[in-house]
Structure 1
């Protein structure tokens, strides 16, 4: 059971979460014509009455870009302004997750993006660990990641997540924690809602943007941190067999942060994960605003 934050932003106003409701005839509900974002907020461990949001500007820009696929002009600056006010009004007391969502809000049955109303809402919920920080087991999904030529994968389009849902449920119901999806070319793409990395011989490899991945913000963060730590990173296509003989495998995402993979199918991966652990420690320090070189990634909000 989720604990939702008390206040939501809906139809151009802040109101109680319980009052933010849409009609069963809402266009996006039927056709998946929506796009969403997601970002974490934590209590500042060093400053009382202050909330820290990680890479707020990047998250707002990505949602603004996703909205363009819906023919909806929603400036990143407006999204950022609303999210900041949303946090101030809710005054969270625990780590939480913010879900902004753009969608076709008209009531109708014709699948289209022209001559149709769009809207934007924001809600939030308390959220601890999305997956076990101790690690997860994975299986290769029988479902394949969509192709960019059939769906705009540079956006977080809600319709795309039917594949993620199918893959996740298939994995859990067959005894695993998470799914790994291949793309139509038979190369590794991503997990059900996370990017994937492997470590071999001290180097980090991750599927490139042309492998039908979502260009994750945490993914970008990890690549930047690794380079700053002097760890070589390579973005390219990755074969299925590479995962099975990797020195380390980990997943990344806003909700998941960094999660090690302990087993893939029947292949147990090494328990020693020095690079994964180093990146995890660095990411935690950055999100808690303890790293001066990355302070522009952290947005503090006073909730006095």
Structure 2
């Protein structure tokens, strides 16, 4: 219990984390009929009474859209206000991760989204580096990324993460840190919970939305930063062999931030990563509110207000 922030938002009120419990008969537990978000926060290095949240508005909007896919009307402003109050209640003193979650909260056995109760909860956990900032090793998973025609991939639907879980465990138990999933067409899609980028000949390349990727908020941030730095951007299908000969390769995500890939299967990537390093340095500065150009990405929550 000590690993979690002490207060959670549960059943429309703030309660001690250990009291935020669901029944074993909860519908979402059995059918994966939930959707989640994830965002990082950290104490403002310049003001100990202020917390910085990265792109809170975008995270709230995406979770609201995910809720719609579950036939649940949950306005983005409701999510955002709840998260602000959650931060004030917890008074975090170190970098942390917030997990908002919408789900079918009824007790029942019929798989459905109509005529069923839904709810919204928030909890958090202190979090430093999710993956090694020095780089990770990856294998190409034997599991394929789902298609949008079978799962609504524009939302972070909890049931979809069985594939991510299978891929991650397969990778780790075979000696790698992370998995890279191909889509049904055999093209590179994403990692177990992160988007992927290549650098070749000075260009930043990433699979586009037509490759069954999640619409990552960190991914969008990376593309914007790269564009502003004058780095050419290409969004297109990517073959797996391109990863083996890339100049640089990295993952992006809320938990992963920007994490270099140092090896894919038996192929080692170059140790020099000038574009990755520049993007990572800039993104870190943005999250710490040290880049005036991107101040609208950083939402400030006063702990004494």
TM-score w.r.t. length of structure 2: 0.99
Distance 1:19 1:2 in 2: 14
For residue 2 of structure 1, report the CA deviation from its aligned partner: 6.6
**Other-structure match for 2:145:** 145
Partner of 1:250, secondary structure, is strand
Displacement of 1:216: 0.2
Cα distance in 2 between the residues matched to 1:95 and 1:240: 35
Aligned to 1:204: 204
Q: Please state how far the C-alpha of 1:302 moved relative to its aligned partner.
A: 1.1
SS in 2 for 1:99: strand
Which residue in the other structure is 2:167 paired with? 167
Q: CA deviation at 1:288?
A: 0.4
Whole-angstrom CA distance in 2 between matches of 1:209 and 1:221: 15
Structure 1: how far apart are the matches of 2:31 and 2:269?
40
Give 1:260's aligned residue. 260
When residues 241 and 2 of structure 1 are mapped into structure 2, their CA distance, relative to the original with a 3 A threshold, is farther
Q: Which runs of 5+ in 1 are unaligned?
A: none
Tell me which residue corresponds to 2:82.
82
Residue 297 of structure 1 is matched in structure 2 by 297
CA contact (8 A) 1:167 1:192 kept: yes
Structure 1 stretches of at least 4 aligned residues deviating more than 2 Å after TM superposition: none
Name the residue aligned to 1:99: 99
TM-score in terms of structure 1 length: 0.99
Q: In the TM superposition, what whole-angstrom CA distance separates every residue of 1:160-208 from its partner, at most 9, and x where no partner exists?
A: 0000000000000000000000000000000000000000000000000
Shift of 1:239: 0.4
Q: Verify the 8 A CA contact 1:2 1:125 in the aligned structure 2.
A: no
Structure 1 Cα separation of the partners of residues 60 and 236 of structure 2: 27
Aligned-pair Cα RMSD in Å: 0.7
Taking the aligned partners of 1:120 and 1:76, their CA distance within structure 2 comes to: 12
**Contact 1:34/1:104 (8 A) holds in 2:** yes
| Unmatched segments (≥5 aa) in structure 2 | none
